[in-house]
Amino acid sequence: MVWLVMAIFAIATGNPAGRERDCEIVDYGIHDPDTPRVQFDDPTSASGQRFESDEVTFIERTRIVDKALGTGFGFQFQLHHLPTKRPAHMMWRITFPKGGIRGHKKWERAFDESVPDGELLQHLLFDFDHDYELVAGTFTFDVFVDGKPKCSIAFQVR
């Protein structure tokens, strides 16, 4: 199940060790929520829901994830050099393994974000909350700003 961390959402670069252009991967892997998850209706999600939480802790830095109910994974990223005089148009995407989840090949969320100092720290996460979400293969997390790709990370679920 898709959920976002409102400490300000997340996604990462293909190079988990550091910075690539305007996006820096701060952390990634298996996570535990530090604050309660708040549920929102989301018709674009395979479950019809998404969750947001203020904070998470990454407990294992890995890009290999076991498909098990209750497991959550994703990444935290820092966006640099964002527009300061107007809202930035953000889009987050999680592309699911071949075959998708309940007919969904991906999940996307688009929104505008005002960032007066040009910096934004966010998380993008996925949790296995339902049996039908337990799909082996590559889950790819992407972040776009104003229609341009900024960072990406892939996780192998087995």
- 99: exposed, middle or buried (C-beta count within 10 Å: 0-12, 13-18, 19+)? exposed
Domain that holds residue 8: 2-157
Nearest residue to 32 (alpha-carbon basis) of 52, 11, 49, 57? 57
136: domain CATH number is: 2.60.40.2390
Query: Are residues 12 and 141 in contact, defined by beta-carbon separation less than 8 angstroms?
Result: yes
pLDDT string in tens for the chain (158-residue length) = 654 443 333 333 344 444 347 999 999 999 998 989 999 999 989 899 999 888 999 999 999 999 999 999 999 999 999 999 999 999 999 999 999 999 999 999 999 999 999 999 999 999 999 999 999 999 999 999 999 999 999 999 99
Residue type, 152: S
Domains of the chain: total:
1
Nearest residue to 56 (alpha-carbon basis) of 77, 27, 33? 33
pTM: 0.85
